[in-house]
Amino acid sequence: APDSAAKSSKLIFGTATDSNAVSTSTPLVDRDPSTYYYVTLEAISVGDKKLAYGSGSASLATGEGNIIIDSGTTLTFLESEFYNSLESALEEAIKAKRVSDPKGLLSPCFEADKDMDLPVITFHFSGADVKLQPWNTFAQVQDHMVCFTIVPSNDIAIFGNLSQMDFLVSYDLEERSVSFTPTDCTKNP
């Protein structure tokens, strides 16, 4: 995972388009409290293994507008019951020794080496598949350790800013949609 702490991001008002970029969009859903931007997460894939979100009994994950998209929250939070399935799929996909984060903040963590193969994790929003690269979902916490930056929650589901890195995330409040365009943010002026 690259060191992104020193990188900055841009806030663009108006239209910012790249004719070569492929954008995908999902509807904004009206919910209370209205101070948040809600979208609908239908499933998450770890590599080719797709897991339905909201198929369990937890009300947090069911229905439209079941996750908040927030640029001010670092990690991504998912409903705990679903998270257990996601963690199992992750362990199957990553052929590395599981280790503990010495700070006790993130889990699962894996012993990393230069040949480590971390999976692409796709968030399947209503109408939009957003493919997250390993730098969106893992952080290097020590020289030989990477940890998953998606965590369980019993209270709230949030698509945080690490998951949004290297995407142009556009909010169209008139059309009530959010679009994601893969972008190399280091090349933006």
pLDDT of 185 above 90: no
What is the C-alpha to C-alpha distance for residues 165 and 151, in angstroms, rounded to an integer?
17
Mean pLDDT of all residues in 89-111: 90
pLDDT given at position 171: 94
Do the strands 76-79 and 150-153 form a parallel or antiparallel pair, or are they unpaired?
Answer: parallel
Tell me the pLDDT band of 18, cut-offs 50, 70 and 90. Answer: low
Among the listed residues 132, 93, 140, 137, the one whose alpha carbon sits nearest the alpha carbon of residue 114: 140
Q: What is the pLDDT of residue 4?
A: 47
Can you give the pLDDT at residue 20?
A: 60
pLDDT band at 16 (very low <50, low <70, confident <90, very high): low
Region of 65 please: left (phi>0), alpha (psi -120 to 50) or beta.
left
Q: How confident is the model at residue 42 (pLDDT cuts 50, 70, 90)?
A: very high
Quick one: pLDDT at residue 15? 56
Domains, the chain, ordered by start: 36-95+119-140+149-182 (2.40.70.10)
Point out which residues pair with 140 in neighbouring strands: 146
Residue from 45, 44, 86, 41 nearest 67 by CA: 41
pLDDT at 73: 96
What token pair was written down for 114?
Answer: 């230069």
Per-residue CA distances from 152 to 85, 142, 183, 184 (Å): 11, 22, 28, 29
Average pLDDT, the chain: 86
pLDDT at 12 over 80: no
Rounded to two decimals, the pTM is 0.86
Q: φ and ψ at 70, to 5 degrees?
A: -145, 120
